[in-house]
Chain A
């Protein structure tokens, strides 16, 4: 199959679209026309030269590139952690010339346009980029059974036809299923899940990733996890805050879109901001009135020091710091008088903080040594937050993305409860992160269901679930932890990457590569040549959302409807088509995997789309659909009346629920509960916030990796600050004296977008290090450094700044690993080379606890600037 017109097979990373740019367009005038302009310049403009493309003249009124096409609402479909924006692509003859964002409505502070970030605007760079997978490919030295497995990641690729690719994939899956059973296939994605369900299941992975320990601990103690449920008030209520504490969050990077605009509105309304973070990040740069640098993984200790201060200094009459009324009515476990049923009275938070339980008072002095914040400052911080009535005590997931931090959310909640910062206007405690950043409350709008019937045979038959931190060990050593005291053997023969980016995005990447070289078959479905694809045997190119029929996504108060922008690129196909074709070859009914037409699915979502009624009362249909609309769409359905016409929604691609203060659409988390805890109990066993929570303690124990107390006891995390020492008590540093943080980096959403040249240029993958640490190692910005952990080593240019704490270093997560075969060094700075797979607690990934050493690199490997690097896709092979 030939390529679509205008595609350059060997295009470097940067797009060349100069063809469309008429740089010398003439405004229809000779030099004389501008006489009198240009501040009296003498117009010695010279004659036309023989080689002139056009008459030299006045510069045209701008290069008019964008003519002759149309704007199509386009998807931005990645798990960015931001607001979920609308894009629009300008399409001329199947070519996208430019991408813009929401300009469909007036932009006002209360109802702002849903403006996209740099990544979304650079979407064209990956859809049409040189790393797009174009054709099915097979690794040259792969044979059924594995062939030369050790060559995975280094082998050459052969282009094969779809028929051949599907045939040999089906045959190999069938062989492995037949010989080794369903428990021999590890499925690390989801787009073929229907297929594997039909085949009797496959082994899957589990474990909290981005959400850290909030995933399990949050709901168990009564707070939202910040993912499916928030504990955050409505965004307009932020403007009622006097103080906003952002503890371990950087929305300017990790939650892009309007979120920083909402915080800026709060600042303009008078709120002060405190940032508690090892990094004076860009959010702090913009908002912070006070920055409290704290070592990674020690937030819990800092919070304990603050709690001690409150207990120590509280005087209900003269210095009320603690909201005893709230503690007594709304929580259990704070003191021995308010314990949940069955709990030991000694296991209360107060006695633990004061040292009566373990003999160690959690004084600010005790905390200072661990967290790096001086004791007087801890005291001032506690007083300031406690005394400011309308305070939002907010955190992102990062501090919980540390080993052994299962009690941290509970400690955070304890602090909020002690100060009573919950359930009232301008007061909230909980997670402000991801799509829920700076906004909370029930959704005000949503799409309808797709109408796809549930699969026959569901629920899915899963043969085994392996924790992310044991994945590669399970492949290599044939054993995994099923639950506490239950180690099971397993014989994995195939790895299927149907979506996701597991090899790059799970801790222990080098071990992961080893595991990939161990199995008999590795299959990847993706649209780019990412790390998964690189270490595979067969690669199947899938379409992006820009090549699919429609896409619906929104957030609390808006819904976007993106349409197909371009035809499928090269030979890319939808995942569902691949699933059906593989299913057919494996004896399943393909119709079961493609039950509805994309048009019908789209109609169902539109017809079912709803929007909240005036003053928050009830729901109404969003879209008016006429008989004619239904005829044009060629679908089954009934006409309906809604708030906007189908034509308007189709053209704009977005509907934003108009907001203003007092519109009845606001939300104060836990408001009813605070007023009447008995009448509106939480979903915890006690119906209250559980500062003593047996549920989470039992849950962590049952997982089988470690144990925690039912109250928030600080445990030095694996690979935390304490492990930077050989002898912590005597202060003797060890071989890995620095703490590594792995940031959500602006260049990417996790690993997506890493190959986009515009973004590579704007956001180099740099290793961030404090000036003092750099000086001690004789390093200057731009030097190439070798960063070593216990698990691997990467090379990166260093960026030296005062904005990060001494002793702490940082690197953005998600760079596509580029492991040098000779040395085993990763040239790209993939953080999971440094982060080891280390299962703790609830089986979450502890990415922000990792100890490293940094040295100047003087070896033979040379690094080019990221955006000058050639594409990862092997050129010429396909």
Chain B
């Protein structure tokens, strides 16, 4: 069993799944914030106010280059595109003749691999459009409204086609709807927990708003974060079930090979779930004043790392076991 043989694909699939998952999570949070009162298209922007506090504000954007003029999700949204592009780039390393990569779009009519690449490029393209529109809002707001769902749809199609690539009759260990379910669950759980971790850690500490007032924070953060964690938790639990019943796991069990890694995969998922619960149980940012001086507990971040490790191990086993001949 060679765990690292398909390493470009392990990295590619995981990167893209994190990217699509995060993108969906961002869109979800935007939706929540919009529902909470921020109005599109500039929902959820933070603006430095004179008193050194920040508020969710639907007011016109601050001037270009003004201090603190930072869309709250600009960094993670940027990361979505970077991860997708990097993932696609790394997937080239899987190719024996990468110069011919452009030809992979030749068989959209029949080949799921062609469709996967097409979906990947569409997702990346739509992301770029949205990223641009975020920075330079169009005169016609409905245009933005149209591109956002399109991006989400492209992401779903990308994961769908990515999973269908492996659902080959010749690979009985892959040829299961559980593969599709597993790919989507990976996408959801990594995306949701990643965004929760971002909200928990990165937003207040790294983006230059150490002096957010508790009141502002309590208005901004409590709702999306538990929601993301809850979605993540549900996906982790579902992923555990899917993993346990997946043909690859059954094969690993019957052959006795890679037992330690299979167990590690499961235990890491479980540990991730526990950490997600811990994060849910203990708000990262308390409302009371005493917590002002304490650093927030990085439960969701640790959960993310554990889950990433679990998914990486799982994906390596997926390739190592499933790609080999049945005889």
Q: Which residues from chain A sit less than 8 Å from chain B, CB to CB?
A: 41-42, 44-46, 49, 51, 780
The smallest beta-carbon distance between A466 and chain B, in angstroms, is: 50
Q: Are A44 and B99 in contact (CB under 8 A)?
A: no
Q: Are B100 and A49 in contact (CB under 8 A)?
A: yes
- Residues in chain A near residue B256, CB distance under 8 A: 780
- Residues in chain A near residue B99, CB distance under 8 A: 49, 51
- Residues in chain B near residue A41, CB distance under 8 A: 110
Q: Are B100 and A44 in contact (CB under 8 A)?
A: no
B218 at interface by CB-CB < 8 Å: no
A847 to B109: give the CA distance in the assembly, Å. 63
Q: Which residues from chain B sit less than 8 Å from chain A, CB to CB?
A: 99-100, 102-103, 106-110, 256
The smallest beta-carbon distance between A456 and chain B, in angstroms, is: 64
* A44 to B, closest residue via Cβ: B106
Q: Which 10 A-B pairs have the closest CB atoms?
A: A51-B99, A44-B106, A46-B106, A42-B109, A46-B103, A45-B106, A49-B102, A44-B107, A49-B99, A49-B100
Of the A-B pairs whose beta carbons lie under 8 Å apart in the complex, a sample of 16, sorted by A's number, is A41-B110, A42-B109, A44-B106, A44-B107, A44-B108, A44-B109, A45-B106, A46-B102, A46-B103, A46-B106, A49-B99, A49-B100, A49-B102, A49-B103, A51-B99, A780-B256
A583 to B102: give the CA distance in the assembly, Å. 69
- Residues in chain A near residue B102, CB distance under 8 A: 46, 49
A222 to B137: give the CA distance in the assembly, Å. 106
- Residues in chain A near residue B108, CB distance under 8 A: 44
- Residues in chain A near residue B109, CB distance under 8 A: 42, 44
* B100 to A, closest residue via Cβ: A49
- Residues in chain B near residue A42, CB distance under 8 A: 109
A847 to B83: give the CA distance in the assembly, Å. 63
A550 to B294: give the CA distance in the assembly, Å. 92
* A41 to B, closest residue via Cβ: B110
A378 to B89: give the CA distance in the assembly, Å. 69
A780 to B99: give the CA distance in the assembly, Å. 43
- Residues in chain B near residue A44, CB distance under 8 A: 106-109
The smallest beta-carbon distance between B113 and chain A, in angstroms, is: 14
The smallest beta-carbon distance between B95 and chain A, in angstroms, is: 14
* A43 to B, closest residue via Cβ: B106
A44 to B107: give the CA distance in the assembly, Å. 7
- Residues in chain A near residue B103, CB distance under 8 A: 46, 49
A42 to B114: give the CA distance in the assembly, Å. 14
A41 to B107: give the CA distance in the assembly, Å. 9
- Among A41, A44, A45, residue most surrounded by chain B Cβ atoms (within 10 Å): A44
A45-B106, A49-B99 known, 14 other contacts, Cβ within 8 Å: A41-B110, A42-B109, A44-B106, A44-B107, A44-B108, A44-B109, A46-B102, A46-B103, A46-B106, A49-B100, A49-B102, A49-B103, A51-B99, A780-B256
The smallest beta-carbon distance between A313 and chain B, in angstroms, is: 47
- Residues in chain B near residue A51, CB distance under 8 A: 99
The smallest beta-carbon distance between B235 and chain A, in angstroms, is: 36
* A51 to B, closest residue via Cβ: B99
- Residues in chain B near residue A46, CB distance under 8 A: 102-103, 106
A46 to B108: give the CA distance in the assembly, Å. 13
A42 to B106: give the CA distance in the assembly, Å. 9
The smallest beta-carbon distance between A577 and chain B, in angstroms, is: 48
A41 to B103: give the CA distance in the assembly, Å. 16
A49 to B108: give the CA distance in the assembly, Å. 19
* B256 to A, closest residue via Cβ: A780
The smallest beta-carbon distance between B294 and chain A, in angstroms, is: 50
The smallest beta-carbon distance between A801 and chain B, in angstroms, is: 16
* B107 to A, closest residue via Cβ: A44
A45 to B99: give the CA distance in the assembly, Å. 16
A41 to B106: give the CA distance in the assembly, Å. 11
The smallest beta-carbon distance between B98 and chain A, in angstroms, is: 11
The smallest beta-carbon distance between B156 and chain A, in angstroms, is: 25
The smallest beta-carbon distance between B327 and chain A, in angstroms, is: 15
* B97 to A, closest residue via Cβ: A51
- Residues in chain A near residue B107, CB distance under 8 A: 44
A46 to B107: give the CA distance in the assembly, Å. 10
A44 to B256: give the CA distance in the assembly, Å. 46
- Residues in chain B near residue A45, CB distance under 8 A: 106
A780 to B110: give the CA distance in the assembly, Å. 42
* B255 to A, closest residue via Cβ: A780
* A45 to B, closest residue via Cβ: B106
A46 to B106: give the CA distance in the assembly, Å. 7
* A50 to B, closest residue via Cβ: B99
A46 to B103: give the CA distance in the assembly, Å. 7
The smallest beta-carbon distance between A166 and chain B, in angstroms, is: 50
- Residues in chain B near residue A780, CB distance under 8 A: 256
- Residues in chain A near residue B110, CB distance under 8 A: 41
A281 to B61: give the CA distance in the assembly, Å. 82
A780 to B255: give the CA distance in the assembly, Å. 11
- Residues in chain A near residue B100, CB distance under 8 A: 49
The smallest beta-carbon distance between A22 and chain B, in angstroms, is: 16
A42 to B102: give the CA distance in the assembly, Å. 18
* B109 to A, closest residue via Cβ: A42
A780 to B256: give the CA distance in the assembly, Å. 10
A49 to B100: give the CA distance in the assembly, Å. 8
A780 to B259: give the CA distance in the assembly, Å. 14
A780 to B257: give the CA distance in the assembly, Å. 10
A49 to B256: give the CA distance in the assembly, Å. 48
The smallest beta-carbon distance between A803 and chain B, in angstroms, is: 18
- Residues in chain A near residue B106, CB distance under 8 A: 44-46
The smallest beta-carbon distance between B186 and chain A, in angstroms, is: 31
A276 to B106: give the CA distance in the assembly, Å. 60
A45 to B102: give the CA distance in the assembly, Å. 12
A49 to B102: give the CA distance in the assembly, Å. 9
A49 to B107: give the CA distance in the assembly, Å. 17
* A780 to B, closest residue via Cβ: B256
The smallest beta-carbon distance between A49 and chain B, in angstroms, is: 7
* A56 to B, closest residue via Cβ: B103
A45 to B107: give the CA distance in the assembly, Å. 9
A13 to B229: give the CA distance in the assembly, Å. 56
The smallest beta-carbon distance between A349 and chain B, in angstroms, is: 51
* B257 to A, closest residue via Cβ: A780
A44 to B105: give the CA distance in the assembly, Å. 9
A49 to B103: give the CA distance in the assembly, Å. 9
The smallest beta-carbon distance between A229 and chain B, in angstroms, is: 46
The smallest beta-carbon distance between B286 and chain A, in angstroms, is: 54
* B99 to A, closest residue via Cβ: A51
A849 to B309: give the CA distance in the assembly, Å. 53
A581 to B109: give the CA distance in the assembly, Å. 73
The smallest beta-carbon distance between A196 and chain B, in angstroms, is: 54
The smallest beta-carbon distance between A846 and chain B, in angstroms, is: 39
A45 to B106: give the CA distance in the assembly, Å. 6
The smallest beta-carbon distance between A874 and chain B, in angstroms, is: 30
The smallest beta-carbon distance between A168 and chain B, in angstroms, is: 50
A51 to B103: give the CA distance in the assembly, Å. 12
The smallest beta-carbon distance between A784 and chain B, in angstroms, is: 16
A193 to B163: give the CA distance in the assembly, Å. 71
The smallest beta-carbon distance between B99 and chain A, in angstroms, is: 5
A45 to B109: give the CA distance in the assembly, Å. 12
A49 to B97: give the CA distance in the assembly, Å. 13
A42 to B111: give the CA distance in the assembly, Å. 12
The smallest beta-carbon distance between A384 and chain B, in angstroms, is: 36
A51 to B102: give the CA distance in the assembly, Å. 12
A780 to B107: give the CA distance in the assembly, Å. 43
A41 to B114: give the CA distance in the assembly, Å. 15
A46 to B114: give the CA distance in the assembly, Å. 14
A41 to B109: give the CA distance in the assembly, Å. 9
* B110 to A, closest residue via Cβ: A41
The smallest beta-carbon distance between A656 and chain B, in angstroms, is: 38
A46 to B109: give the CA distance in the assembly, Å. 14
A739 to B7: give the CA distance in the assembly, Å. 44
The smallest beta-carbon distance between A58 and chain B, in angstroms, is: 14
The smallest beta-carbon distance between A780 and chain B, in angstroms, is: 8
A42 to B110: give the CA distance in the assembly, Å. 9
The smallest beta-carbon distance between B111 and chain A, in angstroms, is: 11
The smallest beta-carbon distance between B225 and chain A, in angstroms, is: 47
The smallest beta-carbon distance between B318 and chain A, in angstroms, is: 21
The smallest beta-carbon distance between A756 and chain B, in angstroms, is: 25
- Residues in chain B near residue A49, CB distance under 8 A: 99-100, 102-103
